[in-house]
Amino acid sequence: MSLRNRLTEFFGIEHPIVLAPMAQASGGRLAAAVTHAGGLGLLGGGYGDPDWVRREFDAAGDARVGCGFITWSLARAPEVLAVALNRNPAAIMLSFGDPEAFAGSIRDAGVPLICQVQTLEQAHAALRAGAKIIVAQGAEAGGHGMSTRSTLTFVPAIVDLVAEHSPETFVLAAGGIADGRGVAAALVLGADGVLVGTRLWASSEALVPPSAHQRALRASGEDTVRTRVYDLVRQLDWPAQYDERALRNAFLQTWHGDESHLLTNLPEAIAAFEAGLSAADFDIAHILIGEAVGLIHDVAPAGAIVAQMAQDAARILNRGA
């Protein structure tokens, strides 16, 4: 049974599986591997470093890939969008902010706009901005997001909203999807495809230290927590409504839930964090990862991960038929 649908037809891909543009993890090799496997790879442009974006587009070679940005940060360095658009990307994804300021440039370049949302209000804003694809992100996801909605209920709510207001727009499900069961579930919920982060973070092409991979393989979903601690020590001015899902460790054990004390001792905490980061000591440094970590038992090539997810999802859906 094929998973081909209107999303795969639109992008000219084989599987409705899209790589989440994880900042500093979804580099060119990983994005290219996902694209070559029949999905769609997106670079993690994150906070908008133009040199990083250029380097990772180069690393993707001739693979057709897109790029994702943190919208509120892109507003501080909007010239980085032009760097990505000059590479004829397959799509541009914007997350965590109003996409309206950038939608015109993306549309004028003939590039599909992907908007990640965590609320119905944000979905309406994405549609007003002309998003071709909306990513419905549940709180199970790793990295930044909101803790208000779960994937299981949020995805069909977004599917219904889009069907009413803009039926030609595609919907991707995100949050907690790490295998074929998650892909099949997302399609049954009405999504056109999935955005996969944590499972592809645990791939051999991801820009992730081996020690972080090994730490994550020993973890379960219960070992993750939504927190603001790492934004504070990285001095990232995230809007208050967003926090991040990270793997618990000794550093979080010290400061999570005691942010006022952290702010009082911020210089010392920053110094400790930066030392841990330099040493790849993940008792201190951050691993931003989703609840799906408990479903991951190996680090594998991204192409094999995509193929297995698609194969298992097709088998499950065919069994249901």
Instruction: Give the pLDDT confidence of 120-154 residue by residue, as tens digits.
Output: 999 999 999 999 999 999 999 999 999 889 999 99
Read off the pLDDT of each residue in 266-288 and give the average, rounded to a whole number.
95
CA gap 128, 245 in Å, rounded? 29
pLDDT band at residue 265 using 50, 70 and 90 as cut-offs: very high
Statement: residue 191 has pLDDT above 70: yes
Whole-number mean pLDDT of the chain? Answer: 95
Measure the CA–CA gap between 19 and 41, rounded to whole angstroms: 5
Instruction: Identify the band that residue 48 occupies on the pLDDT scale cut at 50, 70 and 90.
Output: confident
pLDDT at 19 over 90: yes
Domain limits of the chain? 6-208+297-320, 210-291
Q: How much is the pLDDT for 321?
A: 56
Looking at the predicted structure, is the pLDDT value of residue 292 above 60? yes
In 3D space, the residue among 78, 70, 28, 31 whose CA is nearest the CA of residue 53 turns out to be 28
1 pLDDT more than 70: no
| The predicted structure's pLDDT at residue 198 | 97
pLDDT digits (tens, 9 = 90+) for 237-250: 899 899 999 999 99
SS (H, E, C) 149-178: CCHHHHHHHHHHHHHHHCCCCEEEEECCCC
Average pLDDT over residues 182-200: 98
Q: With 70 as the cut, is the pLDDT of residue 47 above it?
A: yes
CATH of domain 6-208+297-320: 3.20.20.70
Residues contacting 23, CB < 8 A, separation 6+: 44, 45, 46, 47, 70, 143
pLDDT at 7 over 80: yes
Residue with tokens 């997810």: 309
pLDDT for the residue numbered 319: 81
- The predicted model gives 8-22 an average pLDDT of 97
Tell me the three state secondary structure of residue 135: strand
Q: For residue range 193-206, list pLDDT tens digits in order.
A: 999 999 999 999 99
Question: In the prediction, which pLDDT does 2 show?
Answer: 78
Which residues on neighbouring strands pair with residue 244, listed in sequence order? 144, 227
The phi-psi region of residue 21 (left if phi > 0; otherwise alpha if psi is between -120 and 50; otherwise beta) is: beta
Question: Is the pTM value of this prediction over 0.85?
Answer: yes
- Is residue 87 predicted with pLDDT exceeding 60? yes
Structure tokens at 235: 């001095």
- What is the rounded average pLDDT of the residues 271-286? 94
- Please report the pLDDT score of residue 207 as a whole number: 96
Percentage above 90 pLDDT, the chain: 94
pLDDT average, residue stretch 260-265:
93
At 46 the pLDDT is: 87
What mean pLDDT comes out for the span 259-264? 93
Res 143: pLDDT: 93
Query: What was the pLDDT predicted at 320?
Result: 58
Give the pLDDT confidence score for residue 24 in this predicted structure: 87
